[in-house]
Amino acid sequence: MAGTSTKTVHDIFQNMEYGSSSTSTATAQAWLEKHSRILGFFIDGKFLSPADRQTHDVTDSNAVVCSTVCAKDEDVASAASSAAGALKTWSELSCYQRAKVLLKLASVLQRHSQCVSELCELSQSSVSPAVLIRLTQYYASWAQLRDTLMPEWIPQGVVAVVVSDDCSVYFLLLKVLPALAMGNTVIVVPGKTTTLPALLLAQLFLEAGIPAGVLNVITGSEASLGAKVAQNPQVNYLTYSGRQETGEALAKAVAGWGVPMSFSLSFSSVCPFIIFDSADLDSAVDGVIELAFKKKRDFQWVLCVQESVLDSVVARLKLRMTGMKCVPLATEAERSLIDTAVQEAQQQGATLMQSCPPVSTGALYPPTVLCGLAPSCQSVISPPPGPVLPLISFRSSAEGVTLGNHSPYGQTASIWTEDLTLALESAKSLCVGSVWVNFHSVMDPALPLCGRRESGNCTDGGREGLYQFLRPSLSPSFPRSSPSSINYADFGSAASKFMIPEGFDPSSVPRFYSHFVGGQLRKADSGCSRSVLAPGSAVLAHCPDGGRKDVRNAVEAAIKVQPGWMKKSPAARSQSLYSLADSLDKRRRDLAVSIQTQTGISLEEAEKEVELSVSRLSDWAARCDKEQGGNPFLPQSGSTLLTSEALGVLGVILPNTKPLLSLVSLLGAALAMGNAVIMVPSEKCPLPALEFIQVLQASDIPGGLVSIITGGRDQLTHAFANHSVIQSIWYWGSKEGCQFLQYSCVSPLKRLWLNCEEEEEREAGQNWTSSNPSLQEELWRKAVVWKSIWIPTA
């Protein structure tokens, strides 16, 4: 018969050519045709396509599919004005009304699932509509429960959601949906792969009944456009998902504009795939094949195999890779990067295992395993893009966990073993946000994705991921501002210092204080001191003028003791904090006098502050074993564990107000959750913190767990920002200090809690005397990170 193919079934399966996409994308093409293949912005519930804008072509297999419009400043202003205008309407709807819109969206997604699927595939951001429907239904339920379970929390306001070019639709909606569910309005700046799906989803939101202006989508260069959106004075919060380099550029462009920022840098993350000798090797190798050689991966992977089964794993890999086709790359530039990385690895002694010889040119590369690499090899630290998998070996289980923690990232890990005890111990020891046991790449919105170290400074998903889009109603908002002119390299270097002259008579001032580092009193490494002044400018005492070396010494002491403190049972930590509260109670008179002398308030008021401080420490002692994770319910089979873990070493710049009560409130939260703390007392009121050193010495808090360093606030802030071990900084200080930290703390990435004290003093600021539960909850949530462990069942 004419036109009949002569290929047999055997020929077709041997060749496995990619089929034509013209039939499969008919629905998506119809939607594009409806918009004349020129997609503009979605602002105030309408599609807009101004005629004088630059356009960007979206291509598929080298053919232009459509064009998108690049936004200008006036488009950003229009989107921000639309979102701000709709905020009151959306946030004042009842929880039921907001939930109803999101539930309707789930139905609309179901009805248009074919178009959504095809448009995502066309954009090289494939995702199952069923996954998006589950995501929408999950956050619809949280929209319903917000006022019931979070009555003291309010929305951030207008939220800017920015994603990089290779971010998937799932991770985009993992930001957008919780923001909307909590009552915020959203401006989306999508990347190349999410532009078309984001515009389609905006239309579906409108069909679901979302009020005009609640969701806006503007397109263009994600970093520069995202910065322009965040700089708009009507935007209250910025959250980003994608690659590290784009996130760094965005953070530096927005620093100083008074916008809180959070970053999920999962697409730069290097994650370990660990195979122990007790694993089902066939299943583990199948997992490697499925995960490592896909056309598009959410993470970069490094294969870690125990030496006793290394030969068996390599033999199985070689067998499974036989006959596998070359994998298409995103661009030809990726091919050049892969060739360079493979050549460098071979020069360092690596051996290649490939499914077939690489083609001479073009954006294709065969599945490749780099065997025999050292952990210090560049291909292990930063694996090349594409279907290239570094393989390293380890001897013992402990060494395997150490290799898993070798990367500066901490997004996720996949571990393979039939030994449940080994699985749980390894999962607990890995410094990552998610651990999959005997499987991989399964996600559900009920469990959080929490980036550790360079993988992010926020939590997405689960109840825990909602709080980045909320703030306590009694907590002051971050004040908007314009950036100051700051020399970031020299920030804090102009601190005034006073050298103690030879022959100086110590009796001429009431007292010389020392730093408290490593459980001991120490002088400043610089040998300098600064005066402690009373409200009338009389010199009360001298204290050390600390610097970078003092911070380094404090961090060295902290990292020796913090792991042991974190591993203590919550009950044991609780008893230590009760001991600290008891020690404080015994010295209440001395501390009240120091507060009165330093601040000028009455002795009665000072005694009330000490009384509240004792009570606050006792509160944190009682909460030590109350704030735990749980076992969330999931739609698929298997068991899950959700645990809260300590951040590690925290740097705290203390406020001027309530110098003792603010100290114990922050210290109690950090210690109760298992952290070590380096505290810098207020320059204006350091005396109560220095007197508190004797309280620490009389308690059974381990030496080195808490350090107190006095000195110039800016100088010590600079030292905190540049130290890679300090995982989080809680800062009360100047607008310039907030700007410096936002600019500097993206490399190395830190979790920031910034408070502009100049503005807070004008507007009442943090109410340290309040016992409102939301303020206490905010404190402990700032002190922990979350880990989810997935364990499959038959």
| DSSP-assigned letters across all residues of 127-153 | --HHHHHHHHHHHHHHHHHHHHH-TTE
Q: What does the pLDDT look like over 697-738, one tens digit per residue? A: 999 999 999 999 999 999 999 999 999 999 999 999 999 999
SS3 154: strand
What is the model's pLDDT at position 760? 52
Pairing assessment for the beta strands 185-189 and 153-155 based on DSSP bridges: unpaired
The Cα 691–Cα 596 span in angstroms is: 13
Asked whether 771 and 627 are in contact (CB, 8 A), the reply is: no
The Cα 33–Cα 12 span in angstroms is: 33
| Domain spans of the chain, in order of start | 25-265+466-472, 268-455, 516-627+638-759+771-791
Average pLDDT over residues 763-788: 84
Closest CA to 746 of 230, 378, 174, 240: 240
Average pLDDT over residues 263-269: 84
Q: How confident is the model at residue 83 (pLDDT cuts 50, 70, 90)?
A: very high
Pairing assessment for the beta strands 63-69 and 55-60 based on DSSP bridges: antiparallel
490, pLDDT greater than 90? no
The Cα 277–Cα 126 span in angstroms is: 35
Please list, in sequence order, all residues whose beta carbon lies within 8 angstroms of the beta carbon of residue 137, skipping any fewer than 6 positions away: 102, 103, 106
Q: Which residue has the tokens 């319910």?
A: 633
Amino acid letter, residue 499: M
Instruction: Please tell me what DSSP assigns to residue 519.
Output: T
User: Is there a common fold for 25-265+466-472 and 516-627+638-759+771-791?
Assistant: yes
Q: In what order do the strands lie in the sheet with 706-708?
A: 520-522, 515-517, 706-708, 676-680, 649-653, 726-733, 751-756
What is the model's pLDDT at position 504? 47
383, pLDDT greater than 80? yes
| Of 678 and 537, the one with more pLDDT | 678
| Of 62 and 278, the one with more pLDDT | 278
The enclosing H or E element of 543 equals strand 539-544
Can you say whether the dihedral through the CA atoms of 591, 597, 603, 609 is positive or negative? negative
Stretch among 19-28, 144-153, 729-738, 743-752 having the lowest mean pLDDT? 19-28
Asked whether 365 and 324 are in contact (CB, 8 A), the reply is: no
CATH superfamily of 25-265+466-472: Aldehyde Dehydrogenase; Chain A, domain 1 (3.40.605.10)
Can you say whether the dihedral through the CA atoms of 11, 12, 18, 19 is positive or negative? positive
Q: φ and ψ at 306, to 5 degrees?
A: -70, 140
97, pLDDT greater than 80? yes
Asked whether 404 and 304 are in contact (CB, 8 A), the reply is: yes
Q: What does the pLDDT look like over 499-546, one tens digit per residue? A: 444 554 555 556 788 899 999 988 877 678 888 888 877 888 888 888
What is the model's pLDDT at position 632? 74
Asked whether 408 and 244 are in contact (CB, 8 A), the reply is: no
What is the model's pLDDT at position 772? 85
In the Cβ-directed half-sphere of 595, how many Cα atoms lie within 13 Å? 27
Cα 209 → chain centroid: 32
60, pLDDT greater than 80? no
What is the model's pLDDT at position 677? 97
Q: What does the pLDDT look like over 556-591, one tens digit per residue? A: 999 999 999 999 999 999 999 999 999 999 999 999
Nearest 10 degrees: Cα torsion 494, 498, 502, 503: 170
What is the model's pLDDT at position 53? 86
Q: Which fold has domain 268-455?
A: Aldehyde Dehydrogenase; Chain A, domain 2 (3.40.309)
The reply to whether omega before 748 is within 30° of 0 (cis) is yes
Q: How confident is the model at residue 82 (pLDDT cuts 50, 70, 90)?
A: very high
The enclosing H or E element of 651 equals strand 649-653
Closest CA to 457 of 776, 729, 668: 729
Q: How confident is the model at residue 239 (pLDDT cuts 50, 70, 90)?
A: very high
- 3-state SS string for 169-207: HHHHHHHHHHHHHCCCEEEEECCHHHHHHHHHHHHHHHH
492, pLDDT greater than 90? no
Q: Which residue has the tokens 């008891």?
A: 582
Closest CA to 405 of 375, 385, 378, 384: 375
Q: How confident is the model at residue 4 (pLDDT cuts 50, 70, 90)?
A: very low
338, pLDDT greater than 50? yes
Average pLDDT over residues 681-697: 93
Instruction: Please tell me what DSSP assigns to residue 23.
Output: T
Q: How confident is the model at residue 22 (pLDDT cuts 50, 70, 90)?
A: very low
Please list, in sequence order, all residues whose beta carbon lies within 8 angstroms of the beta carbon of residue 459, skipping any fewer than 6 positions away: 433, 448, 449, 450, 451, 465, 467, 468, 785, 786
Amino acid letter, residue 563: P
765, pLDDT greater than 60? no
Q: Which fold has domain 516-627+638-759+771-791?
A: Aldehyde Dehydrogenase; Chain A, domain 1 (3.40.605)
Q: Quote the percentage of the chain above a pLDDT of 70.
A: 92
Model pTM score: 0.90
Q: How confident is the model at residue 761 (pLDDT cuts 50, 70, 90)?
A: low
Average pLDDT over residues 384-395: 91
What is the model's pLDDT at position 538? 82
Closest CA to 186 of 43, 46, 47, 74: 43
The Cα 185–Cα 155 span in angstroms is: 9
What is the model's pLDDT at position 76? 95
What is the model's pLDDT at position 735? 92
